Structures are given as structure tokens and as C-alpha cells.
């Protein structure tokens, strides 16, 4: 949730933290392996707020710190319809993944406009710290399980397009480089 600031009359109004820049594939920084968060302190809590604001602004359902050029093991997710149930995973570890898998279409805020099928476990059990630094175990299935696996790939320096054939990867890379060139000219 965004931080609160007092408004006139002692009421509170919501203020959004500054948005972060999302790295775009094929930026080599997306391939950096994230390091563990050393302490859940004010810096990390401020980063969580900015990541959530950035994810919501981009209409995403998940964002890894790697995608905003912070190479620490931190993920924010919200797969709720109302976009009001943020999940924070700090130093997440998948303790179990179902042997059953399903191929589903995925997209990524770092690869805008590109969607393709990726095979993922249909359920996972993850241990992580939450935004308060408390250890949690999350058992997830369906969209949440897919999102967790997708975002944890980012922490390992992997983008979902790397699951695709070399031909598709090449086409996507060419398309993204061209889009970046055109955006720079505008």
C-alpha cells in the first residue's frame, strides 16, 4: 500500500511513491543473478512501495527487483481481481513444485506486447520473508503459482522468452530492439 500523508483537517490521503524504470529485454542487466536481501529495513520497505506502485501503474501482476535494476531477491505480486492483495516475497525459495505441469501463455513487463506458452508446475510451496521480515510459507496453485515461478526466474537472471525456441527468441529480440530504437527517435 502506498504511504499515507496527512491532508487538511487531519485526514489522510494516499500519495504514490515515485515509479521505477522497468528494464526491457534484451537489456543484459536482466540476466544478473540477484543477491539475498540482508535486512528488511526502511530501504527495502521503500523499494517494496515503489515496486508495487510501478507494477500497478504498468498493469502487471508481478515484478521482480531485477526488472527495476535492483539485484536483490525481492518480488512483489498481486493476482487479485481488485488489485488490492499485494504479496511480498523476500529471499524466496521454492521448497516444492508439483511434478504436474501445464503450458500457459505468459507475458512480462520487461517484454511488453509479447505472449507465448511456457511450461510450469501447476502448484508450488514457497518459503520467504514478507514485507515485515516475518518468515512465511505460501502454497500456491494456478495463476499465483505461475506468477511466483516467473518472477523467481527473474531473480535467477532468466526471462520467460528463454523457454522458447531459439528462432522465437531471435524474433522477439529483434522486435524489442527495433521498438527501443523507434522509441528513442520519438
Q: Alpha-carbon distance 117 to 163, whole Å?
A: 9
31 annotated to bind ligand:
no
Residue 151 a catalytic site member = yes
Terminus-to-terminus CA distance in the chain, angstroms?
34
Burial 79-111 (b: 16+ CB within 10 A, else e): beeeeeebbbbbbbeeeebeeeeeeeebebbbb
150 annotated to bind ligand:
yes
Burial class (CB in 10 A: 0-12, 13-18, 19+), 137: exposed
The C-alpha angle with vertex 105 and arms to 100 and 25, in degrees rounded to 5, equals 115
In terms of DSSP bridges, do strands 87-97 and 74-77 run parallel, antiparallel, or are they unpaired? antiparallel
154 annotated to bind ligand:
yes
Find the catalytic residue in 106, 151, 162, 182.
151
As annotated, the binding site for Fe cation includes 108, 150, 154
Residues serving a catalytic function are 151
As annotated, the binding site includes 108, 150, 154
Amino acid at each position: 500500500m502506498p504511504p499515507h500523508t496527512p491532508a487538511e483537517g487531519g485526514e489522510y490521503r494516499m500519495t504514490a511513491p515515485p515509479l521505477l524504470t522497468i528494464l526491457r529485454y534484451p537489456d543484459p542487466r536482466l540476466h544478473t543473478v540477484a543477491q539475498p536481501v540482508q535486512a528488511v529495513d526502511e530501504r527495502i520497505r521503500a523499494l517494496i512501495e515503489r515496486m508495487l506502485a510501478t507494477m500497478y501503474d504498468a498493469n502487471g501482476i508481478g515484478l521482480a527487483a531485477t526488472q527495476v535494476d535492483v539485484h536483490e531477491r525481492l518480488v512483489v505480486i498481486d493476482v487479485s481481481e481488485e488489485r488490492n492483495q499485494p504479496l511480498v516475497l523476500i529471499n524466496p525459495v521454492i521448497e516444492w513444485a508439483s511434478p504436474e505441469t501445464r503450458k500457459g501463455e505468459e507475458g512480462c513487463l520487461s517484454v511488453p506486447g509479447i505472449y507465448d506458452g511456457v511450461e510450469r508446475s501447476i502448484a508450488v510451496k514457497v518459503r520467504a520473508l514478507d514485507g515485515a521480515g516475518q518468515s512465511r510459507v505460501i502454497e500456491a496453485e494456478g495463476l499465483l503459482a505461475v506468477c511466483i515461478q516467473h518472477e523467481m526466474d527473474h531473480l535467477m537472471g532468466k526471462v520467460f522468452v528463454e523457454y522458447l525456441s531459439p528462432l522465437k527468441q531471435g524474433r522477439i529480440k529483434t522486435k524489442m530492439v527495433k521498438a527501443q530504437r523507434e522509441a528513442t527517435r520519438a
